[in-house]
Amino acid sequence: MSSWAARRFWTTASAVPVEGGFAVHLDARPVRTPLKAPLVLPTFPLAEAVAAEWQAQEGKVKPETMPVTRTANSAIDKVAPQHSDVADMLAAYGGSDLLCYRATGPAGLIQVQAEGWDPLLTWAADTLSAPLQVTIGIVPVSQPAESLAALSRLVHQLDSFRLAAFHDLVAISGSLVLALAVIQRRLSAPEAWALSRIDEDWQISLWGEDEEAAEHAALKRAAFLAADRFYGLCG
């Protein structure tokens, strides 16, 4: 049995000012989230991006082609009602950040990790007041409480829309530091993505790339870049 899918019924999707922000109207009908909350967005550029996704739909609505709309829905339906819990969950990545766990070998990989990741840890220490300790292999390392508190404060400062995008930057990269570097414009999103892939790319250079793994990585990269775009549209 085929699942039901919404079909296009509108002529024009447009961003319009409303109380509290900007909405998206399909002709005269305002878009709502999956939980039926009003889709009210904080900036006009973000509303325009959502409207553009709706305008691009033909026939059946395909949510997988609407990353801005999906993240906006998540911000309203999922993040806003549990903002503190989501922020806590993301801040916890600081205790096991990807950049702090280094390879035991070979020497070439150790060097590439150091060259790529050490400058970001220095930046976190100097700019974010959050020095982090490095360990070898998978041996756990306890991070300074003051550093984790500093990182947590930065995450909790984000509003629900930014936090929704930030969630994807952290979860996809596995690094709180890389995600913070992206939103604070220390790194571009493509640069951060490449740094998060040092281990995988090293293995690919040795053994080649599996087609299925390559497709999966491409999807993750696209989602990472989409999260960065959404964050930028929040103003």
Token pair of 32 as six digits: 């709502």
Start and end residues for every CATH 3.30.2180.10 domain found in the chain: 13-65
H or E segment and range at residue 135: strand 135-136
Q: What is the pLDDT of residues 21-40, one digit of tens each?
A: 999 999 999 999 999 999 99
Q: How far apart are CA 91 and CA 171, in angstroms?
A: 11
Mean pLDDT of the chain: 96
Level-2 CATH architecture, domain 82-233 = Orthogonal Bundle (1.10)
Mean pLDDT (whole number) for 55-76: 96
Fold of 13-65: ATP12-like (3.30.2180)
Q: How far apart are CA 48 and CA 14, in angstroms?
A: 7
What pLDDT band is residue 2 in, cutting at 50, 70 and 90? very low
Mean pLDDT (whole number) for 57-85: 96
pTM across the whole model: 0.95
Q: In this model, does residue 130 exceed pLDDT 70? A: yes
Mean pLDDT (whole number) for 113-142: 96
Closest CA to 195 of 99, 121, 96: 99
What pLDDT band is residue 3 in, cutting at 50, 70 and 90? very low
Start and end residues for every CATH 1.10.3580.10 domain found in the chain: 82-233
AA identity, residue 76: I
What pLDDT band is residue 138 in, cutting at 50, 70 and 90? confident
Give the pLDDT confidence score for residue 209 in this predicted structure. 85
Give the pLDDT confidence score for residue 5 in this predicted structure. 59
Give the pLDDT confidence score for residue 6 in this predicted structure. 83
Q: How many CB atoms lie within 10 A of CB 145?
A: 8
Mean pLDDT (whole number) for 170-174: 98
Q: In this model, does residue 4 exceed pLDDT 60? A: no
Give the pLDDT confidence score for residue 141 in this predicted structure. 94
H or E segment and range at residue 170: helix 160-173
Q: What is the pLDDT of residues 193-205, one digit of tens each?
A: 999 999 999 999 9
Q: What is the pLDDT of residues 102-118, one digit of tens each?
A: 999 999 999 999 999 99
| Omega prior to 106 cis, within 30 of 0 | yes
